[in-house]
Amino acid sequence: MERQVIPFPLTGWQGSLSNSGIRVGAGGGRVLRKGRSIDLTARWKESLISVEGHQIATRTYNMEKSGPLVVFFHGITSSVGLWPTLLGGTRLLTDARCLSVSLPGHWPSTAPSGLTTDKVSAELFARTLRAAIDFHDSECPVHLAGWSTGGFASLVLAADVEFRDRVLSVACFSGFARGKWHSWLGIWQHLAAWKIHRISFYLTLAALRSMTWLHVAVMARFLGRPSDPGLRRALSASAMHAELKAHNGVSLQAMMGGIRSIDLTSHLIQIECPVFVVAGECDPVIRISEARHIADHIQNSELVVLPGVGHMLPVEAPETMVRTIEMSIQSVRPKA
């Protein structure tokens, strides 16, 4: 089933959450409540979990509550702090047990020194992310939500034979099953994958790290409206450039290059839970055809297309992301 949804009007990280009565601040997860600024990200508890030589960073919220766990995964070059920022002031932080999990090799996580592209696989994602979730709760059912590579990670776990029975629902935002990206990010991924081009990957990384304006200009190309001044200001105000500077370049190269050869298509049929596939109509990185490919191979799926939106959903449609997660949670009952 495919439908189009008009994204909730928003400028960057900011927007009115009508159901909560709270206004989200620009970055940092700060909210305004009765005229007072409150930093909700400070209430998330941080952990660093050792898995097969990897150190996987997590942040938890409301773990003392009962019920299913809502697990969040960020995108490539982002960090475990993405979702605590997006969720600041929403009902999810009032009602749900929340766990934000870092992708392998993404600051503040660390990867073993011997990580290379040929060691990056769907199985690596499954083992490391499954262990990080089990560290906090090894039995409870979970709802999964992820953006971009985080959406891919959600699909990996939903199809994983050792984990899929625990998965209640998936919200996959700009995610993919086939690891070859497009546009400028696809070119950079190609440089990461091939040894003969690797020096070009590192030179590009150095340039993006040293020049904020260049990083913003490149990220703006992934927007549905690249010239929109409000969205470009939101990119500048976000933590994306600081996160890129913090990542280990060798780990980032291995992860980006390794993902390029992964294809989950044959495993998607094993996913039985409801899956909400959300895609920007104008996404140049993960094309709309990839979203349709995922939805076509998962029996219990719904494809939601956002007109005029590109790849940067945390900037372009963050309220739509939160509402979709709420909808995915409400669509199922916990398994007995």
CA atoms 88, 91, 94, 100: torsion sign: negative
Per-residue pLDDT of the chain (336 residues), as tens digits, is: 544 444 433 323 233 222 322 223 233 343 333 343 345 555 789 999 999 999 999 999 999 998 999 999 999 999 999 999 999 878 888 889 999 999 999 999 999 998 999 999 999 999 999 999 999 999 999 999 999 999 999 999 999 999 999 999 999 999 999 999 999 999 999 999 999 999 999 999 999 999 999 999 999 999 999 999 999 999 998 899 999 999 999 999 999 999 999 999 999 999 999 999 999 999 999 999 999 999 999 999 999 999 999 999 999 999 999 999 999 999 886 555
- Say whether the peptide bond before residue 334 is cis (omega within 30 degrees of 0): no
* β-sheet with 36-39: strand ranges across: 15-17, 22-24, 30-33, 36-39
Vertex 149: Cα angle to 169 and 5 (nearest 5): 60
* Exposure of 38 in the CB half-sphere (CA atoms within 13 A): 14
Q: Collect all residues with Cβ–Cβ distance below 8 Å to 191 and sequence separation of at least 6.
A: 197, 198, 200, 201, 204
Q: Which residue has the tokens 């340039």?
A: 207
Domain ranges across the chain? 2-330
Integer Rg of the chain from CA: 18
- The reported pLDDT for the residue numbered 5 is 47
DSSP one-letter string for 290-317: HHHHHHHH-TTEEEEEETT--S-HHHH-
- The reported pLDDT for the residue numbered 260 is 97
The span from the CA of 216 to the CA of 233, in Å, is 9
Whether residue 130 contacts residue 162, with contact meaning beta carbons closer than 8 Å, is answered with: yes
* β-sheet with 45-51: strand ranges across: 2-4, 301-306, 275-280, 167-173, 142-147, 69-73, 97-101, 54-61, 45-51
pTM (predicted TM-score): 0.88
- Topology of domain 2-330 in CATH is Rossmann fold (3.40.50)
- The reported pLDDT for the residue numbered 333 is 63
Which string of b and e fits 42-58 if b means at least 16 CB within 10 Å?
A: eebeeeebebeebbbbb
Residue 100 to residues 5, 63, 189, Cα–Cα distance (Å): 26, 12, 25
- The reported pLDDT for the residue numbered 173 is 98
Whether residue 305 contacts residue 279, with contact meaning beta carbons closer than 8 Å, is answered with: yes
Phi, psi of 154 (to 5 degrees): -65, -40
Indicate the length of the chain as a whole number. Answer: 336
* CA 109 to the chain's CA centroid: 15
The span from the CA of 289 to the CA of 18, in Å, is 33
